[in-house]
Amino acid sequence: MANERSKGVDITQQILAHATRLFAARGFVGASLRDIAKAVGIRKPSLLYHFNSKDDLRRGVLASMLAHWNEVVPRLLKAATSGHEQFEAVATETLEFFRADPDRARLLLRELLDRPEEMEPLIESHVQPWTKIICDYIRKGQQQGRVHADIDPEAYIVHMINLMVCGVALQDSITALMPGRPATDEVLPERYVTELLRVARAGLFIDPASARAGIDPPDALPSGVRDSSGDAAE
Partner DNA sequence: CGGGTTGCCTACCGAGTGGTAGATAGCAAC
Partner DNA sequence: GTTGCTATCTACCACTCGGTAGGCAACCCG
Binding site for DNA (CB under 7 A): 2, 5-7, 11, 31-35, 37, 42-46, 48-50, 52-55
CB of 116 to DNA, least distance (A): 21
Q: Cα separation of 182 and 204, whole Å?
A: 34
What dihedral angle (degrees, nearest 10) is formed by the CA atoms of 193, 197, 200, 203? Answer: -110
187 binds a second copy (CB under 8 A): no
Single residue of 100, 202, 221, 225 touching a second copy by CB under 8 A: 202
Please give the Cα distance from 136 to 67 (Å, whole number): 26
Closest approach, Cβ 35 to DNA, in A, equals 6
In the set 17, 72, 133, 161, which binds a second copy (CB under 8 A)? 161
Question: Residue 50's closest CA among 74, 22, 19?
Answer: 19
Nearest CB to DNA, comparing residues 44 and 159: 44
Among the candidate windows 7-15, 39-47, 138-146, 160-168, which touches a second copy by CB under 8 A?
A: 160-168
Q: How far is the CB of 29 from DNA (least distance, A)?
A: 7
Task: Name the one range near a second copy by CB under 8 A: 6-14, 51-59, 70-78, 188-196.
Answer: 188-196
Does the protein bind a second copy through residue 11 (CB under 8 A)? no
CB 29 within 8 A of CB 57: no
What's the CA dihedral at 207, 149, 124, 91 to 10 degrees?
0
Q: What is the spatial distance between Cα 142 and Cα 189, in angstroms, rounded to a whole number?
A: 32
Q: Which is nearer to DNA, 6 or 173 (CB)?
A: 6
Contact 166, 234 (CB under 8 A): no
For the segment 16-45, give every residue that binds a second copy (CB under 8 A). Answer: 26-27, 29-30
Residue 36 CB, shortest distance to DNA, in Å, is 8
Q: Which long-range contacts (CB under 8 A, 24 or more apart) does 208-212 make?
A: 210/146, 210/147, 211/85, 211/87, 211/88, 212/84, 212/85, 212/88
Compute how many residues bind a second copy; rule: CB under 8 A.
60
